[in-house]
Amino acid sequence: MHVDSDTIPLCNQCPASFVSPPHPILSPLHNALRTGQELDPESIASLCKVIPSLYSKLSDYNAEITRLEGILGRLRRGRDELSLCLDAWESRSAPVRRLPVELLTNIFKDACRAMPISSYFPAHNAVRALTITPLRLASVCSFWRSIALSTPEMWTCVYGQANQADVSEALCSVISLHQDRSCTRPLSIFISASFSNQSTRQAVERLRQGYRVFDKLFAGGLDLTRCRKLVFDIDPFKVLRSHLNLSEHSLVWPSLECLELSQRDAWAEHSYPCILFEKAPKLRELHLRGGNVSIAGYVLPIHQIHSLTLHEYAPDYVSYLLRSCVNLRHLTLSHWDSSGRTRGASSVLRCLRSLTVISYGVSNFLESFELPALTHLVLDTNICTEELHKNVDPGLFPIYYQSMVARCAKSLMKHQASLSHLTLKDLPFDSKMVVEFLFRVPNLRRLSIIEMKGLKSFFTLDQHLVDYLSKPEILPGLEGIDLVWSKDNVDLDEGAIMRMLEHRVDKTILKSAVIGPRDGGELRNDTLIRMQPMREREIEVMLW
């Protein structure tokens, strides 16, 4: 018994096909073989032809499959190559690829730039990221690599870690690489070291040997003549002092403008001061963190300091230190110990122009100092509502707030003639408290109010404050205003804010405004539309 040939089409576009040859259905012969029947001569002759015929047909199938698999392999390779080509075209036509080289270079510079000066010490992981950022950018593609290698500003941030007095060759190589590729640009150098305070003879000897390696960062590995900013974080510092003998080592820092010091252990009164930073003729900016960094422990050109940041310091020491900074112009107090006021008479800071208090005890500081030249004031509790609830009994909130506002407002009266810029950030004040603030400073030219997150019972920005600011006789010299509200303040009327801005533009000298919710929330479409006429009048209106 036979069946017709089976035609297998190979292409939908042409008649190419594979003909599957007919083969016999050998059921009777197969059954005879299974049951052990004796075959007649004709069946034997047929059996002798079947097996070679099937092998031949199997070879035909294998040959066609091999041919088609070769075609399929070529098709797959062509598909993969086309996919790579498509990815390349999409990548090269992406918006970032179409940026002008100058703009892309500036973006890279910002990504690799040393961390901005703030009231907090830079996180070590973030600083490490700055060190390897140019390496990562240079590894993306040849185009980015060419930009990285031709932009010295991308290589000006150097991070060195010497924990347990261990400075690896890899670290020295990275430092050398950054210094070479930064050419002659000023450097920002971050040095961190943590040591175990061991007392055994073997440990001391190991430290002494290790510090000869650590000393390479100062004397051999780092080009100190180009160091513009130095962040020096040593824990514990007394170990470094005792084994490196910093009271006898004085280096020259001809370009050093900013110095940040941090240590966990207090300076011992009987110790000799560290003279490592004694010779820094351009030093103008000083940051001290931890409450243990004592000026008595260092020989510094303190009379040169124009900008000072103190983190976690007690009022008495702050007062003592500020009396030494006779030319101080900018002061930032972060997490200031507000448990009490400074003892004695109020200190007078005659040159201080800018003050930032990032602490819950802002009123205590304002009561402790006379600031006749103050023009810029930033008050920031830097505290979330959860922490606020831990520090203050919720039942005492109204009394606590009113007391703080009354004390701050009274202190502001001393500076109403000179104060021109005021920022209120994360203060747990309602609108009536803010109005009391503003009433004390009628000569403001710039006002920034950034509402605290997470408040539920009241909000700083409400209709009462907006109506107050709508009056042209209130703050008549106001040239700029920033109003930033919490995303929880769902009742705030954006239309009322825009009416207030439009009214002040018509009736006063308002030139700029920044509005919007915190954490990237969106404004209503009609609010965005109302901004355009103000911009056409050359009023700078921006979103937060």
In the chain, the N- to C-terminal Cα span, in Å, equals: 87
Give the H or E element holding residue 542: strand 540-543
Q: How far is CA 378 from CA 353, 368, 518, in A?
A: 12, 16, 18
CA–chain centroid gap for 266, Å, is 30
Q: What pLDDT is stored for residue 390 in this prediction?
A: 58
Regions of the chain short of the pLDDT cut 50: 1-4, 116-121, 199-204, 207, 210-213, 242-247, 270, 384
Q: What pLDDT is stored for residue 331 in this prediction?
A: 92
Q: What is the DSSP letter of 225?
A: G
Q: What pLDDT is stored for residue 119 in this prediction?
A: 37
Contact 241, 247 (CB under 8 A): yes
CA–chain centroid gap for 171, Å, is 23
- Alpha helix stretches (DSSP H) within 93-168: 101-112, 124-138, 142-149
Alpha-carbon distance 353 to 419, whole Å? 9
- What are the residues whose beta carbons fall under 8 Å from the beta carbon of 360, sequence distance 6 or more? 338, 381, 383, 391
Q: What pLDDT is stored for residue 67 in this prediction?
A: 87
Alpha-carbon distance 249 to 481, whole Å? 51
Alpha-carbon distance 80 to 84, whole Å? 6
Q: Could you tell me the two tokens for 243?
A: 């084994």
Q: What pLDDT is stored for residue 213 in this prediction?
A: 47
Give the H or E element holding residue 194: strand 187-194
Helix, coil or strand: residue 497: helix
Backbone angles phi, psi at 422, to 5 degrees: -130, 130
Q: What pLDDT is stored for residue 271 in this prediction?
A: 62
Rounded to two decimals, what is the model's pTM?
Answer: 0.73
Alpha-carbon distance 157 to 165, whole Å? 22
- What are the residues whose beta carbons fall under 8 Å from the beta carbon of 404, sequence distance 6 or more? 362, 363
Q: How many CB atoms lie within 10 A of CB 345?
A: 9
Q: What pLDDT is stored for residue 432 in this prediction?
A: 85
Helix, coil or strand: residue 97: helix
- What are the residues whose beta carbons fall under 8 Å from the beta carbon of 538, sequence distance 6 or more? none
